[in-house]
Structures are given as C-alpha cells and as structure tokens.
Amino acid sequence: MATQHRIALIPGDGIGQEVTPAACRVLDTVGKRHGITFGYDEFDWSCRRHTETGAMMPGDGLARIRDHDAIFLGAVGDPAVPDHVSLWGLLIPIRREFRQYVNLRPVKVFEGVESPVRRALAGEVDLVVVRENIEGEYSEIGGRLGRGFPEEMAVQEAVFTRAGVTRIADYALGLATRRRGLLTSATKSNGIVHTMPFWDEVVAERALSYPDVTLESEHIDALCAKVVLDPAHFDVITGSNLFGDILSDLTAAVAGSIGIAPAANLNPERDFPSMFEPVHGSAPDIAGRGIANPLGAIWAAAMMLDHLGHAEAAAAVEQAIADVLARTPVRTPDLGGTATTAEFTEAVLEFAIG
C-alpha cells in the first residue's frame, strides 16, 4: 500500500505561485514511482491576503497546519506590504511556533553550471549552511521612541540562549561528523561584545564532544571573503539567524544563482511539522512570466522527501536535477538559458522517471 502524506501548501507571493506547482508535480510523479502519495491542503496566506483582509494568515492559521506531515512554502513578499510585516506575519511565526530551530541550506556547484566565481568548480564546492532559525538577531524585543523628532531612536535586542546555541551547535557538529568533519562557525566577537563571545564559547564547548570534527571560528566579514576566494574549503558552516541568512544567499550566488538554493526549516525532535522552501524570495520583477527557476523549490521538495523517510526518492530527484544540468542545455534565464519553469520541470521529470 502507498504511504500517504498530508502537506500544508503555502505558495505565497510572486514566483512562489509558479515554483510551488512545479515542486508538487515532481513530488507526485516521483512519489508514484516510489509508492508515496501526497494530499495537499492549499492555503492562500500571502501579501495579497494581507491587502484584502489585513492579515497574512487567519488567527487560527498555525492550528490549521499543526497536524500536517510537513509544510511546503513558496515565497513571501510583495512591494504592497512592508517586508517586516509579511515576514513576521507568516514565515517567522511558523518557524517559531513549530520550533523549527534548524535552517538547513545545502549548496553545490553542479556540473554544467558556471559559477561567477572562478575558483568555484563543479564537484568541488559542496557545503551546508546550518542557520539558527528562531532566536538571535531576529527578535521582537526592542522598540521605537520619539517618532518624527530629531532624537528619534530604535532599539533592537538580539537574543542568544544557552539552550538555543547548544542545540544548533550540536546539530551542525553532528552533521559535520557525517560529512567531511569540518565546522566553520561564523562570529563577530571583536565588535559584538556580549552575544558573539557567548556564541563562540558555547560552540567551542559543544565541539569537545565531537572529537572527529575540526572547529574553526571566523569573523563574518572575513568568512564572506573566504567563501568567495576559496569556496571548496568549506564543509558545514553554522551561524546565527542573521549571519546564516546572509551566508546562504552568498553561498547560493557562488554556486551560480540564488534560484537553485533550497532550505529546510527543521524541528529535529519531530514534535511539530517541518517546513521546506526555496531560499529565494517572491521576485516581483519576474513574477507571472513563467521563467522562474524551479530548481530551489524542487530541491526543497527532495529535502522534504528525505525528511519524511523516503531517502531513495529524494536521491532520485537530486540526481535528476544534477543530470539536467550536466547533460542538457535546459536552463532558466537566471542560469543563462531560455527555458521556462515548466520546461525545466519536465526535464527533471524525464530523468527522474526515465
């Protein structure tokens, strides 16, 4: 009998509406081949909904998706709604309420994709960014005073807890143990005098329990330079919420395009559903033209398959992505081609199911 999964589907805004159906098409087709079926409950939570109703999602939104096996999200953001309103009205509450404290963002330079960085060669760059996802610089603590007056001010408190840093360090160290054994921790303890030395201390303490992992700590500014100059050096990179977010866009660009990067927002204990999304945003400049790169969303779907216990199906999707890039000229415009979202998706399916 086929394994059935219920997925909460939130296409969201802009190209999220275009790449999410592409990912579902791959899930359905590859799933069928592997004895897995998906039932989707689609939610219209988005900036359009905010414009019409005043809220990104309904008051009981989180309760409605709590019991799904996983959540698949397209993209969030539209010029009509301030970015902090759309993010804090949808994406961030999901991550926090469901304790999705790991944001896993793998990056590879695929054969057939030319990186803008000369030293980023296919087969050599294969790294994972492990971003802390529910605390750090993304914090509600703070406020604004004296709006409109010359002395107007804004204060934003970053929040780092021992529990929070410990669990993300353990996740990253565990992952490094199963990979090449190198963990790079992003810091800025020369300028940020409280939270970053604390981050460094906790990561170093936890590393003592992982003798097979070499830990290196790099200031975020120097780390960004090194990622560009020598991307093949890196294996697992961990960072706070903000540093991890910035690093994953940087590493995705080094790999050729932010359109190819996937993300898994994981609740490792599986007390709550985890959420899968492409790293890219809603890209209003190209939305509606059918040319968005669905690779990030399709790769995120592969990560979802893996999380749901279907490693073989996940590997088949990842291999199909690699095959399209290595063996065909099919590319969306962000990778220098002329293929549409649908054409790229078809090419992936041809390799995935033969």
| Tally of CA atoms within 13 A in the half-sphere of 329 that contains its CB | 3
Contacts of 176 (CB under 8 A, 6+ apart): 182, 183, 210, 213, 235, 236
Exactly one of 69, 135, 218, 277 binds ligand GGG (CB under 6 A); that residue is: 277
Are the C-beta atoms of 190 and 219 separated by less than 8 Å? yes
CB-nearer residue toward ligand GGG: 129 or 254: 129
CB-nearer residue toward ligand GGG: 77 or 164: 77
Per CB under 6 A, 262 contacts ligand GGG: no
Per CB under 6 A, 31 contacts ligand GGG: no
CB-nearer residue toward ligand GGG: 76 or 325: 76
Q: What distance in Å separates the CA atoms of residue 129 and residue 5, rounded to the nearest whole number? A: 27
Exactly one of 8, 24, 76, 283 binds ligand GGG (CB under 6 A); that residue is: 76
In the complex, minimum distance from the CB of residue 146 to ligand GGG, in angstroms, rounded to a whole number:
29
Binding residues for ligand GGG, rule CB under 6 A, total: 10
Task: Read off the tokens for 111.
Answer: 């054969």
CB-nearer residue toward ligand GGG: 273 or 278: 278
In the complex, minimum distance from the CB of residue 135 to ligand GGG, in angstroms, rounded to a whole number:
13
CB-nearer residue toward ligand GGG: 74 or 112: 74
Query: Where are the extended beta strands (E) located within the chain?
Result: 3-12, 36-42, 70-75, 102-108, 126-132, 142-145, 153-156, 182-187, 214-219, 236-239, 262-266, 274-278
Q: What distance in Å separates the CA atoms of residue 188 and residue 192, rounded to the nearest whole number? A: 6
CB-nearer residue toward ligand GGG: 247 or 335: 247
Per CB under 6 A, 11 contacts ligand GGG: no
In the complex, minimum distance from the CB of residue 160 to ligand GGG, in angstroms, rounded to a whole number:
17
Q: What distance in Å separates the CA atoms of residue 46 and residue 52, rounded to the nearest whole number? A: 10
Exactly one of 75, 107, 283, 292 binds ligand GGG (CB under 6 A); that residue is: 75
Buried b (16+ CB within 10 A) or exposed e, 110-146: bebbebebeebebeebbbbbbbbbbbbbbeeeeeeee
Distance in Å from the first CA to the final CA of the chain: 23
CB-nearer residue toward ligand GGG: 91 or 335: 91
- Mark the segment that binds ligand GGG (CB under 6 A) among 35-43, 106-114, 169-177, 276-284: 276-284
Instruction: Name the strand (E) or helix (H) holding 172.
Output: helix 162-178
Exactly one of 112, 164, 231, 281 binds ligand GGG (CB under 6 A); that residue is: 281
Residues near ligand GGG (CB under 6 A) are 75-77, 87, 245, 277-278, 280-282
